[in-house]
Amino acid sequence: MAMITVLEASAGTGKTHRVTTEAVRAVAEGTPLEQMLLVTFTIAATSELRARTWDRLARTAAALHAHLQVTPVDTDDELVAELCDGDDDVVALRHRNLTDAMASFDGATITTIHGFCHQVLQSLGFAADVERDPTFVEDVRDMLDDVVADLLVRKLHKATGIRFPVDPARRIAEKAIVDPRARIVPAPDGSSDDLRSRFAVAVRDEMDRRKRAAGLLGYDDLLLRVEEALVEDPDGTVRDRLRRRYSLVIVDEFQDTDAVQWEILERAFGDPPTRLVLVGDPKQAIYAFRGADVHAYLAARRRAGEGHVRRLDRSWRADAGLLSGLDALFGDTALGHDEICYASTTAAPGREATRLSGLAKPAPVRVRLVGSDRPGLSLTPSTGVVQKDSAIAFVAEDLASDVVALLSRGATYDDPDDGERPLQCGDVAVLVGRNQDALTVRDALIRAGVPAVVNGTGSVFGTSAARAWLAVLEAVERPAATGTVRNAALTPLLGWTAADVDTADERAWDALHDRLHEWHRVLAEGNVAGLFEQLSARTDLPARLLRVEGGERMVTDLRHLASLLHAQAGLGGGAPSLLAWLRERMREADRDTAQDDRSRRLETDDAAVQVWTVHRSKGLEYPVVYVPFLWMPPPARAEDVLVFHDADSGERVIDVSEPKGPHAQERSEHVRRYLDEEAGGALRLAYVALTRARSQVVLWWVRGHDCHRSPLGRLLL
The residue type of 431 is L
DSSP letter, residue 153: I
Residue 125 falls inside a structural domain: no
664 shares its domain with 681? yes
DSSP state of 179: S
Give yes or no: residues 147 and 49 share one domain: no
Domain assignment present for residue 344? The answer is yes
pLDDT of residue 183: 95
Domain that holds residue 519: 460-602
384 burial via Cβ count (<10 Å: 0-12, 13-18, 19+) = exposed
Asked if residue 670 has pLDDT above 90, the reply is yes
305 shares a domain with 341: no
- Domain contains 328: no
Element at 566 (helix H, strand E)? helix 551-569
345 falls within a domain: yes
CA distance 487 to 53: 52
Looking at residue 1, its pLDDT comes to 53
Return the beta strands (E) in 113-255 as ranges: 135-137, 183-185, 216-218, 248-251
Closest listed residue to residue 685, CA positions, set 634, 623, 609, 622: 634
Which of 129-143, 227-241, 305-319, 543-557 is predicted least confidently? 129-143
**Domain-located, residue 327:** no
CA gap 335, 65 in Å, rounded = 46
Q: Do 511 and 449 have their domain in common? A: no
- Indicate whether 609 pLDDT > 60: yes
CA distance 644 to 646: 7
* 613 and 698 housed in the same domain: yes
**Number of alpha carbons in the 13 Å side-chain half-sphere of residue 530:** 12
Q: Are 347 and 441 in a shared domain?
A: yes
Q: How much is the average pLDDT of 669-692?
A: 96
**pLDDT value at residue 592:** 44
8 A C-beta contact, residue 645 and residue 677: yes
Q: Is residue 173 part of a domain?
A: yes
Q: How far is CA 55 from CA 17, 59, 253, 558, 629, in A?
A: 11, 6, 20, 45, 39
Mean pLDDT of 340-358: 95
* DSSP conformation class of 313: -
Q: Is 303 exposed, middle or buried (0-12, 13-18, 19+ CB in 10 A)?
A: middle
Which candidate, 461, 459, 455, 460, places its Cα nearest to that of 608? Answer: 455
Q: How far apart are CA 17 and CA 461, in angstroms?
A: 36
257: domain CATH number is: 3.40.50.300
Could you list the beta-strand ranges (E) of 338-394: 340-341, 346-347, 356-357, 365-370
* pLDDT score, position 606: 59
164-182 exposure pattern, b = at least 16 Cβ within 10 A, e = fewer:
beeeebbebbebbbebbeb
Question: 517 with 527: CB under 8 angstroms?
Answer: no
Q: Give the DSSP H or E segment for 209.
A: helix 194-214
Same domain, 108 and 53: yes
Half-sphere exposure of 78 (CA within 13 A, CB side): 5
Higher per-residue confidence, 697 vs 418: 697
Alpha-carbon gap, residue 60 to 25, rounded angstroms: 9
Q: Are residues 18 and 59 in the same domain?
A: yes
589 shares its domain with 629: no
Q: Identify the band that residue 600 occupies on the pLDDT scale cut at 50, 70 and 90.
A: very low
- pLDDT score of 552 more than 80: no
Q: How far is the CA of 619 from the CAs of 287, 575, 645, in angstroms?
A: 14, 43, 27
Tally of domains within the chain: 4
Is pLDDT of 457 > 70?
Answer: no
User: According to the model, what pLDDT value does residue 190 have?
Assistant: 79
Burial 95-108 (b: 16+ CB within 10 A, else e): bebbeebeeeeeeb
How do residues 414-454 score in pLDDT, each as one tens digit? 998 889 999 999 999 999 998 889 989 999 998 999 988 88
Residue 601 has pLDDT above 50, yes or no: no
472 and 583 housed in the same domain: yes
Looking at the fold, whether 162 and 232 belong to one and the same domain comes out as no
Do 465 and 504 have their domain in common? yes
Distance separating alpha carbons of residues 163 and 152, to the nearest angstrom: 8
pLDDT value, residue 549: 64
